[in-house]
């Protein structure tokens, strides 16, 4: 399949970033992009994590598909799994525009969307249109900005979507909803985890299957925060952690005009810092909690570095803005070659090897 993205990129990037994104979602929904990647997966990439069987370990990160509208196209791009959301109980318009910035010279993105989404009812409706035989899908749930009980919002998301999603992500690390990241502190997290796990217990008591629940954390955490989160993850039945969301820091190296816009920074400059935090979380959890490594992945080598640092799966978003959908198959090909060159029979064999 010829990759047309390099040809259309100047046109796409001539649009303001949010318009370009909305046009991409429309094109994907209409199937205009056709079969972009290969759905054939190299067997070395197959992996089982939290009881799910992934055809490859490279997933679409949350935020690209806020309303669960392009899950099938994401699988067709070659992703081994797709995460949609963040979805909040009530529809929400998000922050004022502009709220999405391309930092082209840095191969980075800044966003301050603030959970713009169509709400749980719409999201649920979208999931009900999916065929039973589909790729792995995760629902990323959040809280409304004006909510009086944010924890109750996460519980509502899990209750309403239970049985429709292969796993859940509890997103407590967006920098664009004031106060949200305070849920990462120990007491708040224990309360949140307790209530979320009670919701699952309730579903299972009524006969539903076990659905994995993951917590997505920020890259801007101190050592004490990491220790606390690791303690909560290890002492509860939480199934994994996603490391990480966007950063509120601004590395010195940034060159682009919009580098000081408020919001979360993602893409290439996040690769180093998010991999360091991943490594610290792997150590703090003694490798006992499955981790999804996210932040700055734009090549097979980047993905491989996350596995070696302790990730069992990876996700990406920002690199798609610069490299287009053909990137997914390329990363999978490069990753398979790197694993084989180092004599690994599977992704699982490479997890955390740089830590031992």
Ligand X SMILES: Cc1cc2nc3c(=O)[nH]c(=O)nc-3n(C[C@H](O)[C@H](O)[C@H](O)COP(=O)(O)O)c2cc1C
Known catalytic residues are: 174
Task: Assess contact for 29 and 64: CB atoms under 8 A.
Answer: no
Burial 299-326 (b: 16+ CB within 10 A, else e): bbebbbbbbbbbbbbbbbbbbbbbbbbb
What are the helix and strand counts (H, E) for the chain? Answer: 12, 13
Nearer to ligand X, 66 or 126 (CB): 66
The residues, ordered by sequence, that sit 6+ positions from 238 with a Cβ below 8 Å of its Cβ are 193, 197, 213, 214, 215, 232, 289
Q: How far apart are CA 356 and CA 354, in angstroms?
A: 6
Task: List all residues 6 or more positions away from 348 whose beta carbon is below 8 Å from its beta carbon.
Answer: 47, 48, 312
Closest CA to 139 of 116, 120, 112: 120
| Residue nearest to ligand X according to CB distances in the complex | 63
Residues that bind ligand X (CB under 6 A): 61-63, 66, 85-86, 100, 109, 111, 113, 140, 171, 174, 216, 245-246, 266-267, 270, 294-297, 316-319
> Could you tell me how far CA 307 lies from the centroid of its own chain?
15
Closest approach of ligand X to the CB of residue 343, in Å: 28
Residues linked to residue 315 through DSSP beta bridges, in sequence order: 59, 294
Rounded least distance, CB 265 to ligand X, Å: 9
**Is the CB of 258 or the CB of 344 nearer to ligand X?**
258
Nearer to ligand X, 215 or 351 (CB): 215
What is the distance between the alpha carbons of residues 177 and 98, in angstroms, rounded to a whole number?
16
Q: Which of 171/275 has CB closer to ligand X?
A: 171
Partners of 110 in beta bridges? 101, 265
For ligand X, the closer CB: 44 or 62: 62
């Amino acid at each position: 399949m010829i990759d047309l993205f390099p040809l259309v990129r100047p046109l796409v990037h001539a649009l303001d970033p949010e318009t370009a994104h909305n046009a991409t979602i429309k094109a994907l929904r209409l199937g205009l992009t056709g079969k972009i990647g290969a759905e054939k997966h190299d067997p070395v990439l197959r992996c089982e994590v939290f009881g799910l069987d992934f055809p490859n370990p490279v997933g679409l990160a949350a935020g690209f598909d806020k309303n669960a509208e392009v899950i099938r196209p994401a699988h067709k791009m070659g992703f081994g799994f797709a995460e949609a959301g963040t979805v909040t109980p009530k529809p929400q318009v998000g922050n004022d525009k502009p709220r999405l910035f391309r930092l082209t010279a840095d191969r980075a993105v800044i966003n301050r969307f603030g959970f713009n989404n169509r709400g749980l009812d719409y999201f649920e409706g979208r999931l009900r249109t999916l065929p039973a035989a589909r790729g792995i899908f995760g629902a990323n749930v959040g809280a409304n900005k004006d909510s009086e009980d944010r924890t109750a919002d996460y519980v509502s998301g899990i209750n309403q979507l239970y049985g429709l999603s292969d796993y859940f992500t509890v997103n407590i690390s967006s920098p664009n909803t004031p106060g949200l990241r305070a849920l990462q502190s120990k007491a708040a997290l224990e309360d949140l985890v307790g209530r979320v796990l009670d919701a699952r217990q309730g579903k299972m008591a009524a006969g539903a299957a076990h659905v994995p629940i993951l917590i997505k954390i920020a890259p801007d955490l101190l050592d004490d925060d990491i220790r606390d989160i690791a303690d909560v993850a290890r002492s509860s039945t939480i199934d994994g952690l996603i490391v990480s969301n966007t950063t509120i820091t601004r590395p010195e190296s940034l060159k682009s005009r919009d580098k000081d816009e408020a919001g979360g920074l993602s893409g290439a400059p996040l690769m180093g810092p998010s991999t360091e935090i991943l490594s610290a979380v792997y150590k703090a959890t003694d490798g006992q909690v499955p981790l999804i490594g996210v932040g700055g992945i734009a090549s097979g080598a980047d993905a491989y570095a996350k596995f070696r640092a302790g990730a069992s799966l990876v996700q990406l978003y920002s690199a798609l803005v610069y490299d287009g959908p053909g990137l997914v198959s390329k990363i999978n090909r490069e990753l398979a070659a790197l694993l084989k060159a180092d004599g690994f029979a599977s992704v699982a064999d490479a997890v955390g090897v740089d830590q031992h």
